[in-house]
């Protein structure tokens, strides 16, 4: 099934061919009407093409409208203002579309979905517990992946973990000097983190520690056995911890290659850069200089001591992906501070002549009102702590509202609602705005929040259950009738779901979808307050059951695209 405006477009395109044959026209655009008075959809085709066709846009609009035959979709057309075409849909068409919405799959035929979209997200640096600074990349990335899948793309979710940075030299030094064996036994990653903070503190007093750390790192990179073993252990204990959190957040990756995986490719990358004259020696290091117009700092790709850098690994990553996938595009999610890094290495791969589409999706950093989170400064909120806090808050509310549920059910609902609230609080923000972290805001359960949507979903499930108890279960063979004035806005708004998901997916902006779902839930609640269901005569009852079932399924599918689950009772 296509988006509803695609069916309208077909009718209008036929009319355009008849009315204005053999003309090179700008393609017709159909937009959602900004006001009910202007119908359901609008087109500014006449104004867009008035120069090409010649003549008054209102006259062009009339010629077009006069060539549209009677059809099952359009009820009436009006010409407004300077030449807008206002399109009003037939109730019968809207209701039939709504009925089919959840049984047929959407087709986004205009997208080129060949190949793989590789999405590189979450990507924490090993040996630190994940904190709320990792939240955004993880859940925005997950939602982008889900949106891409919905649009028909094949995705590869890659967790590009930071397992090859300078932190390992420091960790190895810290491990030998300050590790508390018992603490390490109990909670390895917590102890590693402590050791790391210790290193930072000590090295301020004693800067030689930095040199020792660099030596340890070099030894590791040259394959020293002892350091290599330690390094593997750090990765293992870190991933064990991360996977617990990913599981709770319902975030799943296809690969976890990480920076180190590309290490063997890096010398080849340097060779190619040198051969092509792109990397040159500068004070012993190998550096890529950019054209002045690029406005980019030179990029070091290999240090004097032979060590590779973050950029080198990213260039190597592209080489690997180019050779091992049929890349449609690569999408990266990081915070705004990495914009220059991405510009640099994207440019370098272009200079190498590697033709791969890449997008860096950056987002604003989350901070406390008085500063940024930092593991080194020790002022972080751990992700686990945040999820627990969300769950606790949800549990309190459930106890208050629905204490008759079993403890197990309460626990399950609290996990879904608490984590949903947290994800939604982040996803519903404009991606590029900075976020000031406030517990109240992130754990809010009212208004434009996941719990409000989850509650609307559960409310519908409860109505459907009651109907079934009355012997009037939802019946797919019945029709949806649009009669009451509150049924129409709800129904037409429902039909826009695939359009909104497309918009959100193309702009990589999950907040466009949250806005839609919030509006949908509000429209459902308005409808339900004035349109009773269970005490109505059968044809109305069955029609409304079908309508609310579509609302519920759309809420569920929409929330699923955000990585948020639903529950049948709350």
List residues binding ligand ARG (CB under 6 A). 120, 123-125, 160, 162, 314, 317, 332, 334
Quote the CA–CA distance of 310 and 64 in Å, as a whole number.
58
| Distance, CA of 556 to chain centre | 16
To ligand ARG, the closest distance from the beta carbon of 125 in angstroms equals 5
Q: Which is nearer to ligand ARG, 146 or 160 (by Cβ)?
A: 160
To ligand ARG, the closest distance from the beta carbon of 324 in angstroms equals 16
To ligand ARG, the closest distance from the beta carbon of 90 in angstroms equals 50
Contacts of 99 (CB under 8 A, 6+ apart): 479, 480, 546, 550
To ligand ARG, the closest distance from the beta carbon of 336 in angstroms equals 12
Integer angstrom CA distances of residue 10 from 18, 28, 39, 161, 281: 13, 10, 18, 47, 60
Q: Which is nearer to ligand ARG, 317 or 461 (by Cβ)?
A: 317
To ligand ARG, the closest distance from the beta carbon of 415 in angstroms equals 27
Task: Return the DSSP state at 354.
Answer: -
Task: Return the DSSP state at 25.
Answer: P
Q: Which is nearer to ligand ARG, 94 or 130 (by Cβ)?
A: 130
Q: Which is nearer to ligand ARG, 123 or 511 (by Cβ)?
A: 123
Q: Which is nearer to ligand ARG, 332 or 445 (by Cβ)?
A: 332
Residue 3 tokens read as 């988006």
Q: Which residue is nearest to ligand ARG (CB)?
A: 162
Q: Which is nearer to ligand ARG, 40 or 314 (by Cβ)?
A: 314
Q: Which is nearer to ligand ARG, 59 or 341 (by Cβ)?
A: 341
Q: Across-strand partners of 363?
A: 335
Residue 19 tokens read as 């009315």
Stretch (H or E) spanning 280: strand 279-282
Quote the CA–CA distance of 72 and 93 in Å, as a whole number.
7
To ligand ARG, the closest distance from the beta carbon of 423 in angstroms equals 20
Quote the CA–CA distance of 59 and 185 in Å, as a whole number.
81
How would DSSP label each residue in 83-121? TEEEEEE-HHHHHHHHHHHTTS----TTS---SEEEEE-
To ligand ARG, the closest distance from the beta carbon of 314 in angstroms equals 5
Quote the CA–CA distance of 306 and 553 in Å, as a whole number.
56
To ligand ARG, the closest distance from the beta carbon of 259 in angstroms equals 7
Q: Across-strand partners of 287?
A: 280, 300
Q: Which is nearer to ligand ARG, 375 or 444 (by Cβ)?
A: 375
């Amino acid at each position: 099934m296509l988006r509803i405006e695609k069916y309208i477009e077909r009718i209008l395109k036929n009319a355009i061919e008849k009315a204005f044959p053999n003309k090179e026209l700008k393609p017709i655009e159909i937009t959602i009407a900004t006001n009910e008075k202007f119908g359901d959809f609008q087109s500014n085709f006449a104004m867009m093409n008035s120069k090409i066709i010649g003549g008054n846009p209102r006259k062009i609009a009339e010629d077009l409208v006069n060539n549209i035959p009677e059809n099952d979709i359009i009820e009436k057309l009006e010409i407004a203002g300077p030449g807008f075409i206002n399109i009003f849909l037939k109730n019968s068409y809207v209701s039939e579309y709504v009925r089919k919405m959840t049984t047929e799959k959407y087709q986004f035929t205009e997208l080129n979905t060949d190949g793989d979209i590789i999405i590189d997200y979450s990507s924490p640096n090993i040996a630190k517990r994940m904190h709320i600074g990792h939240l955004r990349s993880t859940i925005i990335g997950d939602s982008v992946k889900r949106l891409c899948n919905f649009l028909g793309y094949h995705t590869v979710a890659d967790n590009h973990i930071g397992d090859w940075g300078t932190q390992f030299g420091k960790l190895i030094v810290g491990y030998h000097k300050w590790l508390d064996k018992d603490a390490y036994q109990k909670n390895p990653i917590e102890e590693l983190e402590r050791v790391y903070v210790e290193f930072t503190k000590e090295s301020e007093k004693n800067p030689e520690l930095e040199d020792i750390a660099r030596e340890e790192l070099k030894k590791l990179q040259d394959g020293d056995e002892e350091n290599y073993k330690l390094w593997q252990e750090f990765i293992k204990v870190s991933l064990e911890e991360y996977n617990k959190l990913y599981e709770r957040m319902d975030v799943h990756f296809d690969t976890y290659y990480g920076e180190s995986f590309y290490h063997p490719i890096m010398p080849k990358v340097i060779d190619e850069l040198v051969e092509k004259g792109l990397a040159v020696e500068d004070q012993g290091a190998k550096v890529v200089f950019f054209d002045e117009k690029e406005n980019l700092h030179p990029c070091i790709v290999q240090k004097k001591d032979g060590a590779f850098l973050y950029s080198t690994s990213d260039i190597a990553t592209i080489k690997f992906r180019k050779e091992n996938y049929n890349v449609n595009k690569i999408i990266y999610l990081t915070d705004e501070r990495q914009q220059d890094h991405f510009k640099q290495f994207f440019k370098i791969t272009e200079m190498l002549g590697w033709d791969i589409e890449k997008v860096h999706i950056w987002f604003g950093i989350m901070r406390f009102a008085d500063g940024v989170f930092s593991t080194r400064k020790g002022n972080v909120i751990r992700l686990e702590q945040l999820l627990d806090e969300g769950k606790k808050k949800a549990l309190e509310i459930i106890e208050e509202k629905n204490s008759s549920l079993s403890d197990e059910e309460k626990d399950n609902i609290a996990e879904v609602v608490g984590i949903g609230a947290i994800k939604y609080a982040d996803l519903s923000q404009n991606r590029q705005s900075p976020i000031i972290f406030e517990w109240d805001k992130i754990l809010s359960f009212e208004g434009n929040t996941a719990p409000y949507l989850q509650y609307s979903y559960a409310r519908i499930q409860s109505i459907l259950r009651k109907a079934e108890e009355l012997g009037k279960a939802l019946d797919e063979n019945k029709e949806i009738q649009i009669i009451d004035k509150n049924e129409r806005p709800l129904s037409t708004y429902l039909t826009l779901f695939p359009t909104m998901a497309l918009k959100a997916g193309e702009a990589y902006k999950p907040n466009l979808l949250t806005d839609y779902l919030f509006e949908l839930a509000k429209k459902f609640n308005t409808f339900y307050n004035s349109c009773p269901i269970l005490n109505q005569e059968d044809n109305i009852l069955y029609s409304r059951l079908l309508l609310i079932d579509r609302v519920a399924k759309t809420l569920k599918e929409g929330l699923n695209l955000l990585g948020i689950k639903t529950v049948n009772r709350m």
